[in-house]
């Protein structure tokens, strides 16, 4: 019998349910903790906290374990949502799910679990841990399609040391099969999608309740005005839907994409040229290395969004701090405010927040006068 007391973050979904099941089968002393991170007092039809809690309670009853609950809505507002709004106001594209893991699921949750007498905490994330003499390594989940290390990149080594990821060695299909055979009622429950506090509702409809409209011009690359936008916060680079500028006289019948956001002029810059969205360089700050900071320059791989295949890169230190990242192949719609995550094979090294994007000198040509001091032609300066 493994005497470790483990508190499992129970979301009501199949992944955390199977995580608890597997730990019980190992003989551990297991209890569940349901976290409420958003107050749905707006009466929104999209909030599912009560239904999720009921699913978690049914699973815990089936497994014969106690279920605790905690409300971290105030902490979520202060430590995650406020930062999210600040980034949106700055015309950037934040990723609150990364912050939620660091500040709520592996900070507030861990503190609460410790008060309940936990030796370890566990979640249903698709990731793995490898403990070495030098510390703990965060590894990709076995199911490449479900790997969630991108969302875990901002954790600290200390947070990882006491964590368990019981489903990290499994595929999603295997998780559902285990749940079904164990008689768990939620074995076929649909995966949650979207940002946790927005759910399935339209992003713009949600955001406009917290950020007032700030109309400005929609322009093409040459500066010609094509229309008006309600606020830069509602758009992200590469976005195609919701631009409301189709059917312009003298323009091709081709889709428009958000190319950039000029916060100084409050202009949304759009293009009909998809190739204009390709860049092979970015700079990143607010770095978090999960192990000792690597020696730079570093040849490794990186992702600029969850689910993206690994991209070969060279990471170099910048004189003003942070790093510059040069991609072997151009990347579509690099967006300031998002995260870049670095890998050495299956090992997640950590990552940082994207600050700027642009072109490497090798792709621009020796005669270009736009070279920045850090050796790249920059875009997204105002993001």
Positions marked active-site: 100, 196
Torsion of CA 330, 333, 335, 338, to 10 degrees: -80
Q: What whole-number distance in Å separates Cα of residue 352 and Cα of residue 339?
A: 6
Place of tokens 């936008």: 229
Please name the residues in contact with 293: beta carbons below 8 A apart, sequence gap of 6 or more.
287
Scored b (16 or more CB within 10 A) or e, 75-114 reads bbbebbbeebbebbebbbbbbbbbbbbbbbbbbbbbebbe
Q: What whole-number distance in Å separates Cα of residue 16 and Cα of residue 40?
A: 22
Q: What whole-number distance in Å separates Cα of residue 172 and Cα of residue 13?
A: 12
Contact between 348 and 339 (Cβ < 8 Å): no
Asked whether the CA dihedral 288, 292, 297, 299 is positive or negative, the reply is: negative
Q: What whole-number distance in Å separates Cα of residue 204 and Cα of residue 225?
A: 22
Contact between 260 and 298 (Cβ < 8 Å): no
DSSP conformation letters of 164-191: E-TTTTS-HHHHHHHHHHTT-TTTTPPP
Contact between 141 and 149 (Cβ < 8 Å): yes
DSSP letter at 277 equals: G
Q: What whole-number distance in Å separates Cα of residue 222 and Cα of residue 251?
A: 14
Count the alpha carbons within 13 Å of 88 in the hemisphere toward its beta carbon.
23
């Amino acid at each position: 019998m493994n005497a470790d007391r483990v508190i499992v973050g129970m979301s009501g979904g199949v992944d955390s349910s199977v995580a608890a099941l597997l730990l019980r089968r190992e003989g551990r002393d297991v209890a569940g903790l349901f976290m409420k991170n958003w107050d749905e007092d707006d009466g929104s039809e999209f909030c599912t906290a009560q239904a999720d809690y009921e699913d978690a309670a049914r699973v815990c009853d089936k497994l014969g374990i106690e279920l605790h609950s905690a409300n971290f809505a105030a902490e979520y507002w202060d430590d995650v949502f406020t930062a999210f709004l600040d980034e949106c106001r700055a015309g950037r594209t934040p990723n609150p799910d990364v912050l939620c893991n660091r500040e709520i699921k592996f900070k507030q949750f861990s503190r609460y679990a410790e008060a309940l007498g936990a030796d370890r905490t566990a979640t249903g994330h698709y990731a793995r841990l490898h403990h070495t003499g030098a510390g703990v390594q965060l590894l990709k989940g076995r199911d490449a399609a479900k790997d969630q290390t991108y969302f875990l990149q901002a954790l600290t080594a200390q947070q990882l040391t006491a964590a368990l990821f019981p489903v990290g060695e499994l595929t999603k299909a295997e998780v559902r099969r285990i749940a079904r055979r164990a008689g768990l009622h939620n074995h076929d429950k649909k995966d949650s999608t979207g940002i946790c506090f927005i759910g399935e509702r339209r992003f713009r409809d949600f955001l406009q309740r917290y950020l007032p409209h700030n109309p400005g011009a929609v322009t093409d690359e040459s500066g010609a005005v094509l229309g008006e936008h309600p606020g830069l916060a509602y758009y992200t680079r590469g976005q195609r839907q919701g631009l409301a500028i189709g059917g312009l006289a003298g323009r091709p019948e081709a889709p428009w994409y958000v190319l950039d956001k000029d916060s100084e002029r409050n202009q949304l810059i759009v293009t009909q040229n998809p190739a204009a969205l390709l860049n092979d360089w970015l700079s990143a700050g607010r770095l978090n290395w999960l192990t000792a900071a690597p020696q730079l320059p570093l040849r490794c791989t990186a992702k600029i969004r969850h689910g993206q295949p690994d991209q070969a890169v060279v990471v170099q230190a910048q004189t003003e701090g942070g790093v510059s990242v040069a991609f072997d192949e151009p990347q579509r719609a690099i967006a300031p405010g998002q995260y870049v995550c670095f890998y050495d094979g299956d090992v997640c090294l950590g990552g940082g927040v994207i600050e700027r994007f642009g072109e490497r000198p090798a792709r621009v040509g020796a005669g270009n006068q736009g070279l920045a001091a850090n050796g790249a032609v920059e875009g997204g300066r105002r993001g």
